[in-house]
Amino acid sequence: MDEIKMRYTLLWFCGLLAALTLSACGGDWGPEDDGDGFGDTGGNTRADVDFEVIHQGTSNNSGDSQDRRVRFLTDQITYEDELAKYSSASARDIEFSDAQLLLVDMGTQSTGGYSVAVSDVYEESGVVNLIINYTHPESDCSVTQAETDPYLFIRLDSSLDVILTEEIAYTAC
């Protein structure tokens, strides 16, 4: 009977050792093309996407209150019409077949101290990830007592679909 217990213990130990050995491989069983010796990681690599903030400000020309919005501008005329609502700046010539143009409007805020900025833009898995950061003042900050409307016009050098992520941060005073 002791001999049978010993065989089962030995088999259990060998099974445990095999499981530990296989788990150390990290489960990377794909084709070998990533150079790590254990197979492919899936091909999801991150690549920066060129972008430019071509217009930005904190007030609009219309004087009307705005709601927060993000809008894709698909042609030069629409871009020029939207820009005229925000600024007297001249519109840039945009080649819409090679780029995308977005208007990011934080909406009308009751005081100063608010801002909007691009945190990151990158391509991964066939889409562009655009991360926008909205900054709010802390409640004890000294800010101007005038309405503001922070906005950005962003040119993305890609025609891929865009996933927008919005983040909120607070300014410490």
How do strand 115-124 and strand 100-105 relate by DSSP bridges? unpaired
pLDDT for residue 73: 97
20 vs 15: CA distance, rounded Å: 9
pTM of the model: 0.71
pLDDT for residue 66: 78
pLDDT for residue 37: 54
pLDDT for residue 4: 67
Tokens of 82: 């939207």
Do the beta carbons of residue 131 and residue 167 sit within 8 Å? yes
pLDDT for residue 26: 52
Per-10-residue mean pLDDT for the chain, 173 residues long?
A: 62 57 52 52 78 92 80 97 94 95 94 94 96 93 90 96 95 83
Helix ranges, the chain (H): 2-23, 76-86
pLDDT for residue 157: 96
